[in-house]
Amino acid sequence: MEPVRRRSRIHFEPLRLTSGSTPRASCSTAMTCSTTRATLCAPTKCCCSPRFLPSSRPARFILRCGRGGHCGCAPRHSGCMQPTIVKAQKAQDFLALVPQLLGFLPETSAVLVAFRGNRTCGALRFNLPEPGAPQKVYKRIATTLAGMLCKIPGVDAVVPVLYTGASFASTTGIPGERFAEILNRRLELSGFLLRDSLCVAADAWGSYRDPQCPAGGHPLSDIAESQVFEAATTAAEHPLGTLQNGVEPIGVDSATKERLARVYRRYHRLLMRAENAPALFPTLGFMLDPVMIAEEALTWQNPPSEENAAALLVLVQSPPNRDQIMVQFAFGRAEGMRAHELNRRYARLQSETGRSLDDLVTEEMHTGDPNAKHTGDIMLGLQRERPDVDRIRIAITLLRTVVAMAPRAARPAPLCMLAWLSWALGSGSVAGIFVDRALVIDSQYSMATLLDLLLTSGHLPEWAFAVPRTGEEENDGYARDEDLDQDLDQNFDEDFDERAAGR
326 or 132, greater pLDDT = 326
pLDDT(18) > 60: no
What's the Cα-to-Cα distance from 197 to each of 48, 158, 181, 200, 242, rounded to whole Å?
A: 20, 9, 9, 11, 23
Exposure string of 421-442, with b = 16+ CB inside 10 Å and e = fewer, is bbbbbbbbbbbbbbbbbbbbeb
| All residues at 6 or more sequence positions from 1 whose CB lies less than 8 Å from its CB, including other chains | none
Mean pLDDT computed over 256-285: 72
Q: 115 pairs with which residues across the strands?
A: 120, 157
Mean pLDDT computed over 260-287: 68
Q: Which helix (H) or strand (E) holds 199?
A: strand 198-200
pLDDT(321) > 60: yes
Mean pLDDT computed over 257-278: 80
Q: Give the residue from 220, 135, 128 showing the smallest Cα distance to 176.
A: 128
pLDDT, tens digit (0-9, with 9 covering 90-100), for 65-104: 333 333 223 233 333 444 556 567 789 999 988 888 887 8
pLDDT grade, residue 463 (50/70/90)? confident
Kindly state the DSSP code that residue 500 receives in the 8-state scheme. T
What's the rounded Cα separation, in Å, for the pair 25 and 372? 13
> CB atoms < 10 A from the CB of 180, how many?
22
Q: Give the residue from 57, 64, 134, 50 showing the smallest Cα distance to 97.
A: 64
CA 44 to chain centre: 18
pLDDT(474) > 90: no
Concatenating the DSSP letter of every residue in 69-103 gives HTT---TT-GGGG-EEEEEE-SHHHHHHHHHHHHT
481 three-class SS: helix
pLDDT, tens digit (0-9, with 9 covering 90-100), for 378-394: 878 888 888 998 999 99
Mean pLDDT computed over 145-165: 91
The C-alpha angle 337, 308, 451, rounded to 5 degrees, equals 60
What's the rounded Cα separation, in Å, for the pair 226 and 176? 24
42 three-class SS: coil
pTM of the predicted structure, to 2 decimals: 0.71
Cβ–Cβ < 8 Å for 182, 136 = no
Mean pLDDT computed over 452-465: 82
pLDDT, tens digit (0-9, with 9 covering 90-100), for 49-73: 332 323 333 444 443 333 333 322 3
- Domains, the chain, in order of start with CATH, read 22-42+245-480 (no CATH), 59-243+482-491 (3.40.140.10)
